[in-house]
Amino acid sequence: MKASLTLLIFLVVSACAYAQTDTLSDKKDTTRIVVGKKEIKIIDTDQGTDIKVREKEQKSDGDNNGCRHDKHDGNHHKHHGDGFTGHWSGIDVGLNNYLTKDHSMSVSGNDEFMSLNTDRSINFDLNFFQHSIRLIGKNLGLVTGLGLEFNNYFFENNNSIIKNAQGVIESKPYDSIHLEKSKLAITYLTVPLIFEWQFPGNVSRSNRLRIAVGVIGGLKLESHTKVIYKENDKIQKNKNRDDFNINSLRYAFTGRVGYNKISIYVNYYPVSLFEKDKGTELYPISVGLSFSLM
C-alpha cells in the first residue's frame, strides 16, 4: 500500500513538476524544482542554505516539460463556484524547530543531542494541487488540495541519531570525527483543510489582504539521516534510511496572513515527532513565507 501510494505521488508530481539534485562540489548540493513558470533552486552549503526563485526560461510551443497549461490558468488547481479562489497552490519556504513537552525551544539534559541549528533547518513545501470551495460570497471559502513537504532538521552538536537495542532513538556521537553536516530529513504527503477570508474591496483578488486558518494533515513517505565529514582530505557522505520511530500520521494547525502572492505562515504540530516512548517528546513548528504561483 505504501509503495503504491508513493508511486502515485511520484507520477502526479512528475507530470508537471520535477526536482533534480546535483552535486556541484564536495560542499555544495543544489536542488532544482520547476513548477509552472517558476524555477526554485535550493543550494545547501557548509555556510547555510540559499533559496532562489525566478521565472523559468520559456521553451518553444509544444515543449513545456510535457505539460499542457491553460493560457488563462497555468496552475494545477480547480475552482468551485464563481469568484473565490484560495491560495494553497505554490511553494512554502521556512525554518523548522520544535517545542519540548515544557513548551521550550531549548532541548537540554539527556535530550540535548536533538538540539537544532535552526538557521539551516529548512522547511520546503511544494503544493501542487488545489481545490477551492466558495462558502459565503466571493470572500470566504474552503481550500483543500495536495502537497509534498520536505523537512530538514540540522543537528547542532556533533552527532546523528540511531535506534538502540530497545528500539528507542538515541544519540550517535562522532567523538573522533568533526561533522560538517548532520541532519534528519523527512518527507510528507500533505492535505490541507483551510478557511480563507479575503477582505472585500474593489481591487483584484490577488491584491486583497487575506487571513487563513485551518489544519494540514500529513502522511510520512520517507525519512533518512545524512552526515558529511572529511577523512584523509576526502569528503565522505553517509545516508541512513529508516523510519526512526517517526509518527506516520500527523496534523498541524496553520495560520496565514497574506497580500498579493506572498503570505506569512505558522504551522504547529500537536502530534509528537516520535512515537510515544520511542524518542524525545518534541512538537514541530515551522515559520516562513508562502509564494502563490497562481
- The closest alpha carbon to 257, from 290, 210, 216, belongs to 210
* Distant-in-sequence, close-in-space partners of 14: CB < 8 Å, separation ≥ 6: none
pLDDT of 39 = 63
At 14, the amino acid letter reads: S
* Distant-in-sequence, close-in-space partners of 234: CB < 8 Å, separation ≥ 6: none
Output the DSSP codes for the chain.
-HHHHHHHHHHHHHHHEEEEEEEEETTEEEEEEEETTEEEEEEEETTEEEEEEEEPPP--TT-STT---BTTB-SSEEEESSS---S-SEEEEEEEEEEETTS-S---GGGGGG-B-GGG-EEEEEEEEEEEEEEETTTEEEEEEEEEEEEEEEBSSSEEEEE-TTS-EEEEE-TTS-EEEEEEEEEEEEEEEEEEEE---SS-GGGS-EEEEEEEEEEEEEEEEEEEEEETTEEEEEEEE--TTB-SEEEEEEEEEEETTEEEEEEE--S-SBPTTSS--EEEEEEEEEEE--
**Residue written as grid cell 481591487:** 203
87, 260 in Cβ contact below 8 A? Answer: no
The pLDDT tens digits of the residues spanning 110-130 come to: 999 999 999 999 999 999 999
114, 94 in Cβ contact below 8 A? Answer: no
- The closest alpha carbon to 28, from 14, 12, 10, 45, belongs to 45
pLDDT of 5 = 41
Residue 46, domain member (yes or no)? no
Cell of 247: 509518527
- The closest alpha carbon to 294, from 75, 3, 69, belongs to 75
Residue 151, domain member (yes or no)? yes
Phi then psi for residue 115, to 5 deg, are -60, 140
pLDDT, block means (10 residues), the chain with 294 residues: 41 40 46 59 60 59 42 42 80 97 92 96 96 92 96 97 96 93 97 95 72 98 96 92 97 96 96 97 98 81
Number of compact structural domains in the chain: 1
CA 208, CA 187: separation in Å to the nearest integer?
Answer: 32
Residue 191, domain member (yes or no)? yes
Cα-to-chain-centroid distance, residue 69: 25
Residue 48, domain member (yes or no)? no
pTM value is 0.75
pLDDT of 6 = 41
Residue 38, domain member (yes or no)? no
Give CA separation, 292 vs 31, 260, 281, in Å. Answer: 20, 9, 34
Residue 139, domain member (yes or no)? yes
Quote the domain boundaries for residue 245.
Answer: 76-292
Cell of 144: 483543500
Strand order in the sheet with 48-55: 17-25, 28-35, 38-45, 48-55
